[in-house]
A and B are shown apart, each in its own frame.
Chain A
Amino acid sequence: MSAAVRLQGVGRSYGPVAAVRDVDLEVGRGEVLALLGPSGCGKTTTLRLIAGFEAPDAGTVEVGGRTVAGPGINIPPEKRRVGMVFQDYALFPHLTVAQNVAYGLPGAKRKGRVEDVLDLAHLEGLGGRMPHELSGGQQQRVALARALAPGPEVVLLDEPFSNLDAALRVRVRAEMRDILADAGATAVFVTHDQEEALSLADEVAVMMDGTIAQKAAPEVLYHNPASRRVAEFVGEANFIPGTHENGRLSCVLGEVPACGECTGNVEAMLRPEALRLRALQNGGVTGDEAGATVISREFYGHDQLIKLRLDSGPVLCSRLGGGPGFRPGERVAVGVSGPALVFPKP
């Protein structure tokens, strides 16, 4: 099965600045891929390279098995069979919802298809409204329906949830995933929100400094980040120095199981939820624990983050369930429940 989208060695510079360089990326049919990265990492440029609003300086772009951009080739956006959902939706203000959705359809099969797509996007009965008469979430679904209507090879979404407020965002996110799944569509969406990327996508590609730092399934990305920077960007991470030999790490927290290639003096990553806390009343710490003092606590309801300072100096972060926690100033013993991931020392 060929990929819906394939980028090979793609680069794009603006004067001396390389916005995107040497990007290789493949999106399988029916897959939802998140392009995740900090602002200015080149993710929106990558999206626009696929859509055809930018032309690459190097490399090739394939959509649906057809080369749409490359040396001597640059197929215009309207001939790429690529749907696009813009950050501000870009609905045509002079057309009704149904007319917006019908825009990309040839005259003959317009009527039935518009109704199907409106149903798919849960917009039944709203076809006669004007875009400004809809709520933010509805506008977003119209934009998605409009992009899906012509049956594109891939739908590209540029920061699709950034215009919605936090409460609405979670709901719209779930709706959108269902709509994409019902349509069986391939989708690439750009976001700077790691939570959004991890929860919505089948695959996440992390972009940094204009290139793909890692592409993996969400859980792989979270537990096995390819570099310290990726680990820091995707979720929260503690880093402690230690020595790694034969799958064992010795560090301030004692002997800990570890995975990773490098050995000797390393830097080990421990996710906050891998740290186990125990109140220290009278007894001392055991061999595979370390003494620490709680500095602060952030309570989120379903979980809480405890910041603590080890007696030996380093500051770590621990994630606990939403039960009773620890107060600042309290003494705790810190242990490890899970393997550490080691990286070479910077």
Chain B
Amino acid sequence: MAVPTAARTEDGRGAKPRRRRPPLLLGGLAGLVVAAMALPLVYLVVRSFEGGWEEIAEVVLDGDTLAVLGRSALLAGVVTAASVAISVPLAWLTGRTDLPGRRAWAVLAALPLVIPSYVGGFVLVSVLGPRGMLQGWLEPLGVERLPEIYGFPGAALALTLFSYPYVFLTVRGALRGMDPAMEEAARSLGSGAWAMFARVTLPQLRPGIVAGALLVALYCLSDFGVVSLLQYQSFSNEIYVQYRSAFDRTPAAILALMLVALTIAVLLVEGRTRGRARYHGNAASRPSNTVVLGRWRLPALLFCGGVVLFALVAPVGVLGFWLARGLAEGEPLRPLWNAALSSVYASGLAAAVTALAALPVAILSVRFRGRVSGLVEKATYLGYALPGIVLALSLVFFGANYAPWAYQTLGLLVFAYAIHFLPQAVGTTRSALLQVRPSVEEAARGLGRGPARVAATVTAPLAGSGILAGAALVFLTTMKELPATLLLGPTGFETLATRVWGATSEAFFARAAAPALMLIGISAVPLYLLVIREQAK
């Protein structure tokens, strides 16, 4: 018997965050985190002004400095554009079409993320550089010289190949979150496949593309390894050279401050591109339609295969080649274990500290929304605006002058890591907490549990995997981190990253291969876990 229609209960969407004063302890902890975040930047400003306005004007207006600025902007722009051009078709092909093995392609296309860009840079130099592998093969054919790889072409190529996955992953996420009815509406209104893509799909993907492009642009500005190896005089390279060679270190501080200004400018531009549109991050309720590739199948496969070949297979293959050669020449593997242990130890510490520091900030911004908590959250994103080399430099100055007891200790290094990667942990922790609806917590309170019990029995199990994902991400990026480790590591402290760096900067490719491969292998574990988690959603 049909029941008369009952009033539909509200489904609890958009539960309002409660506006109330956060507990003192929470506010205090978040305040401490923010103060720690601000320390390097504030000190950098102080240090830059030591020489007064005159010195600042002298450094900033110098023709060389302006050239450096232009080169940095050019590199970031070209690499970002190239990454978008590679990633959008890649994400669409693996997400929306009947491409054979599309799930496998999606994982393979994300994997270059585990290859640190300086490893990629060294592979590039060892293959394409003068007296490199390619020239060795071509020499019998009478090729004496290859096109110059050093400078812009090499740096742009290496950075694109190893940072495009940032865009790929965000675009893929946006594609998954899109309501399939949106595309169907476009089709039923008369748009063919291409028109639909251009007029509806692409605009929907815009936030994803912009978010990924932002990550790539910031990555390019902060990258140190590739530009140093390939001798491209961009900011981070120039800062390092200044710091190492000049007696007066104030110019290095001023250059660093300029780089910070450039990154902040990029962040501001990103904020401007969000128009009036509001995009809903709704999970697709049903699978979207699959586009049949037909005769485009072969070109699509070639495209995916090409990207994976150049960004993943070739680099790992070349490393394997150098490893075999090194072993044949009797390169010892023993010191490697110590370096690997140091890497895992420092990265593990950094992951734990960062995840803990992210908690009060995330709880504050999700559960106690207001102007102050918004500012606190924004302040943590300063980490994005501080490239590793700048952060390291500032802490070196600070440690040497004010905290000699901390200077060149593991503690200061972990502190630097935590500041550098806090935004990543805050981001994942925040979205994990956002998924725990306040009404669920309130239901637990209503059932007679106190706040602490609710946090332990309801919030933690629901948000726990997100918090762990944040820690895994921090672990992954810390493993690959180079400039801060180089500048702040205790004397004699060797990680896989510094070993790779030490060997490659002296062109001992065979010696760099083993730690590089090991680094890739270890960082693949957390990345694998992250990808599995994303696929399970």
Interface residues of A (CB under 8 A from B): 51-53, 76-80, 82-84, 86-88, 90, 92-95, 103-104, 130, 132, 146-147, 150, 162, 165-167, 193-196, 232-237, 300, 317
User: Which range contains the number of B residues in contact with the other chain?
Assistant: 20 to 34
Q: Are B186 and A236 in contact (CB under 8 A)?
A: no
Q: Which of B126-134, B144-152, B276-284 contacts A (4 or more CB under 8 A)?
A: B276-284
Interface residues of B (CB under 8 A from A): 1-2, 4-8, 10, 179, 181-182, 184-192, 196, 199-200, 203-204, 206, 275-280, 289
A165 contacts which chain B residues (CB < 8 A)? 7-8, 10
Q: Are A78 and B189 in contact (CB under 8 A)?
A: yes
Alpha-carbon separation in the docked complex, A77 to B7 (Å): 35
CB-defined A-B contacts under 8 Å, sample of 26? A51-B184, A52-B187, A77-B187, A78-B189, A78-B196, A80-B188, A82-B188, A84-B185, A86-B184, A86-B185, A90-B181, A90-B185, A93-B204, A93-B277, A94-B204, A94-B279, A103-B189, A104-B189, A104-B190, A104-B191, A146-B189, A147-B188, A150-B189, A166-B6, A196-B5, A236-B1
Whose C-beta in chain B lies nearest to the C-beta of A92?
B200
Q: Are B2 and A233 in contact (CB under 8 A)?
A: yes
Since A77-B184, A78-B196 are in contact, a sample of 17 more A-B pairs with Cβ atoms closer than 8 Å, ordered by chain A residue number, is A52-B188, A53-B184, A76-B192, A78-B192, A84-B188, A86-B181, A86-B184, A90-B184, A90-B185, A92-B200, A130-B276, A130-B278, A147-B188, A165-B7, A194-B2, A195-B4, A234-B2
B10 contacts which chain A residues (CB < 8 A)? 165
Alpha-carbon separation in the docked complex, A79 to B190 (Å): 6
With A92-B182, A150-B190: A300-B4 Cβ-Cβ less than 8 Å: yes
- Main DSSP-derived SS at the A contact region: loop
With A166-B7, A232-B2: A87-B181 Cβ-Cβ less than 8 Å: yes
Whose C-beta in chain A lies nearest to the C-beta of B277?
A94
B279 contacts which chain A residues (CB < 8 A)? 93-94
Q: Which 5 A-B pairs have the closest CB atoms?
A: A104-B189, A90-B181, A77-B187, A166-B7, A94-B277
Partner of A166, one of B8, B184, B192: B8
Partner of A83, one of B181, B182, B189: B189
B381 to chain A, nearest CB (A): 25
With A94-B277, A103-B199, A234-B2: A78-B188 Cβ-Cβ less than 8 Å: yes
A51 contacts which chain B residues (CB < 8 A)? 184, 188
Alpha-carbon separation in the docked complex, A132 to B182 (Å): 15
A84 contacts which chain B residues (CB < 8 A)? 184-185, 188
Alpha-carbon separation in the docked complex, A130 to B278 (Å): 8
B199 contacts which chain A residues (CB < 8 A)? 103
B289 contacts which chain A residues (CB < 8 A)? 53
Q: Are A132 and B189 in contact (CB under 8 A)?
A: no
With A194-B2, A234-B2, A237-B1: A90-B179 Cβ-Cβ less than 8 Å: yes
Whose C-beta in chain B lies nearest to the C-beta of A80?
B188
B20 to chain A, nearest CB (A): 27
Partner of B2, one of A82, A132, A235: A235
Alpha-carbon separation in the docked complex, A249 to B182 (Å): 55
A237 contacts which chain B residues (CB < 8 A)? 1
Partner of B187, one of A76, A95, A193, A194: A76
A126 to chain B, nearest CB (A): 14
Q: Are B179 and A94 in contact (CB under 8 A)?
A: no
Alpha-carbon separation in the docked complex, A236 to B4 (Å): 9
Q: Are B190 and A94 in contact (CB under 8 A)?
A: no
Whose C-beta in chain B lies nearest to the C-beta of A317?
B1
Alpha-carbon separation in the docked complex, A67 to B187 (Å): 18
With A78-B190, A150-B189: A88-B7 Cβ-Cβ less than 8 Å: no
Partner of B5, one of A53, A83, A95, A193: A193
A232 contacts which chain B residues (CB < 8 A)? 1-2
B184 contacts which chain A residues (CB < 8 A)? 51, 53, 77, 84, 86, 90
B534 to chain A, nearest CB (A): 24
A184 to chain B, nearest CB (A): 20
B4 contacts which chain A residues (CB < 8 A)? 195, 300
B182 contacts which chain A residues (CB < 8 A)? 90, 92
B188 contacts which chain A residues (CB < 8 A)? 51-52, 77-78, 80, 82-84, 147
Alpha-carbon separation in the docked complex, A79 to B6 (Å): 40
With A51-B184, A194-B2, A234-B2: A94-B8 Cβ-Cβ less than 8 Å: no
A104 contacts which chain B residues (CB < 8 A)? 189-191
A337 to chain B, nearest CB (A): 21
A194 contacts which chain B residues (CB < 8 A)? 2
A87 contacts which chain B residues (CB < 8 A)? 181
Q: Are A130 and B277 in contact (CB under 8 A)?
A: yes
Alpha-carbon separation in the docked complex, A165 to B13 (Å): 13
